[in-house]
């Protein structure tokens, strides 16, 4: 899908989302969060991703890809606007989840499109990150 083409292009580097974000000049920080897993914000011309430091490495990579998706798919989104418009919020979160899956899996994502679509809609981080991590580490794809 055209919307996620950039994710697949970035995936060709073989780098993980945390490294991709840094290579794009995005500052990545870690902090203890209670309710959120990560956030993306712009301060002037600086872009920052903050990720919950209590997450597993696979979850941190997924969250970083998700937040990177927000920067690339929704560059002009105002955070306050998103919080007050539930429909827009759900659509953007789904798109960021899909972006992260495409970023981590690259071309393999095409083989799991139906599953990724369903899981991205559920928004369950533990399931998404576990699935993507398992698929990305497989040497052979399941037919």
Q: For the full predicted model, state whether its pTM sits above 0.85.
A: yes
pLDDT of residue 140: 47
pLDDT one-digit tens code per residue, 67-120: 999 999 988 775 544 444 444 558 888 999 999 999 999 999 999 999 999 999
Residue 85: what pLDDT? 47
Place 60 in a pLDDT band, splitting at 50, 70 and 90.
very high
- Between CA 76 and CA 118 the distance in angstroms is 27
DSSP the chain: -GGGHHHHHHHTT---HHHHHHHTT-EEEEE--SS-SEEEEEETTEEEEEEETTS-HHHHHHHHHHHHHHHHH-TT--HHHHHH-HHHHHHHHHHHHHHHHHHHHGGGGGGGHHHHHHHHHHT-HHHHHHHHHHHHH-SS---
Give pLDDT tens digits for 11-22: 999 999 999 999
């Amino acid at each position: 899908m055209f919307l996620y083409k950039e994710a697949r292009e970035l995936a060709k580097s073989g780098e993980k989302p945390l490294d991709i974000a840094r290579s794009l000049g995005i500052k990545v920080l870690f902090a203890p969060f209670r309710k959120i897993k990560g956030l993306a914000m712009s301060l002037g011309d600086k872009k920052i991703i903050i990720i919950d430091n209590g997450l597993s490495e696979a979850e941190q990579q997924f969250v970083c890809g998700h937040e990177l998706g927000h920067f690339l798919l929704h560059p002009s989104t105002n955070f306050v606007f998103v919080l007050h418009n539930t429909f827009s919020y759900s659509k953007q979160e789904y798109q960021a989840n899909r972006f992260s899956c495409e970023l981590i899996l690259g071309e393999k994502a095409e083989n799991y499109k139906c599953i990724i679509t369903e899981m991205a809609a559920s928004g369950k981080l533990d399931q998404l990150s576990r699935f993507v991590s398992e698929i990305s580490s497989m040497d052979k794809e399941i037919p």
